[in-house]
Amino acid sequence: MSEMRRLSVDDVRDVSVFLAHGQRSPERYVGWLEEAQPDIEAQVSRIAERSAVVMEGENIAGYCGVEWADHSRTAWILPMGTDLDALFKSGLEMLPAQTRTIACAFEAGNRRLIAVCESHGMKQTNAELLMTVNDAAFRRSGRATAARRAELNILPYGEAFRERLEEIHPATAHFTISEMAACLDHRHYLFAVTLEQEVAGFCYATRDLAGTTGDITYVIVDGAFRRRGAATALARHVLGTLFEDGAEHVELNVKVDNAAAIALYRKLGFTEVKTVVAYKVARQEASRP
């Protein structure tokens, strides 16, 4: 007999084992949970507040986490295991008041989750490739952290760049320039690329709490400066920095129809891991539990 209940603080360790089943390490599953609080006690409480589990006896058979950023009106519901529809409904009950859009992301071809999403009025909005590279593959690609052209420069973020980066940064992006700048430290990186003394683009990247998994969130170059080597120089510099600081591999997501970006990342040693699809629906249009 299965039982649905909210997660307790004592359950968090057992859930981490459940989430890591079949994966290389538990750390691969906590990237979406870890950034809000460096304090482990606060992290555990936060996870418990945003999670539900399906129990079969004393064993966890299903899990649902709900994740959102404080500034964002989009919340992500992440069900897995058994009783997916019941777990999804538990996620709806945990949404914060600010949520306007409900989203769910998972590996392409997962018919069970597609059925759940569609039953709640959700539609696929995009598909992305999850790509990864390790230090050895990056070195084989011709590792170079310095810009190739004299007129290209890669510089750490400074307040003088803020206004220009805000012009370049898409208004629909999950994080604003101010939010990225506010969390810069030894695991969070924001670099600008200048071309002929003009700011042409930027890259935001992070490493997880263990420091071994890097993530490139954005590589954005103004359209007027594309095809001049800015994106390649920027990505090489950021990858070199992440590996020098201890990352063992770096991941990123890129839209499946962005052929130019995929070609760039392959040139830097990245390989495809899987295709991830996103389903979304306006909160008021989602079916209720």
Domains present along the chain, CATH in parentheses = 2-99 (3.40.630.30), 131-276 (3.40.630.30)
Distance CA 248, CA 239 (A): 11
pLDDT value for 82: 86
pLDDT value for 15: 64
Mean pLDDT of the chain: 84
pLDDT value for 142: 78
Could you report the per-residue pLDDT of 185-198, keeping only the tens digit for each? 999 999 999 988 89
Distance CA 84, CA 89 (A): 9
CA distances from 122 to 75, 130, 255 (A): 13, 22, 19
* 251 pLDDT above the threshold of 80: yes
| pTM for the full predicted model | 0.78
* 37 pLDDT above the threshold of 50: no
Distance CA 82, CA 165 (A): 44
The SS3 call for residue 261 is: helix
The SS3 call for residue 222 is: coil
Average pLDDT score over residue span 240-245? 96
**Are 75 and 103 within 8 A, CB to CB?**
yes
Could you report the per-residue pLDDT of 42-94, keeping only the tens digit for each? 666 777 778 888 888 877 788 888 988 777 789 999 998 889 999 999 999 99
Q: When comparing pLDDT for 257 and 226, which is higher?
A: 257
**Are 116 and 85 within 8 A, CB to CB?**
yes
First to last CA, the chain: 21
Distance CA 150, CA 141 (A): 21
Lowest mean per-residue pLDDT among 12-26, 38-52, 145-159, 263-277: 12-26
Distance CA 104, CA 88 (A): 10
pLDDT value for 3: 77
* 179 pLDDT above the threshold of 50: yes
Kindly indicate the confidence band of residue 25, based on its pLDDT and cuts at 50, 70 and 90: very low
Distance CA 70, CA 145 (A): 34
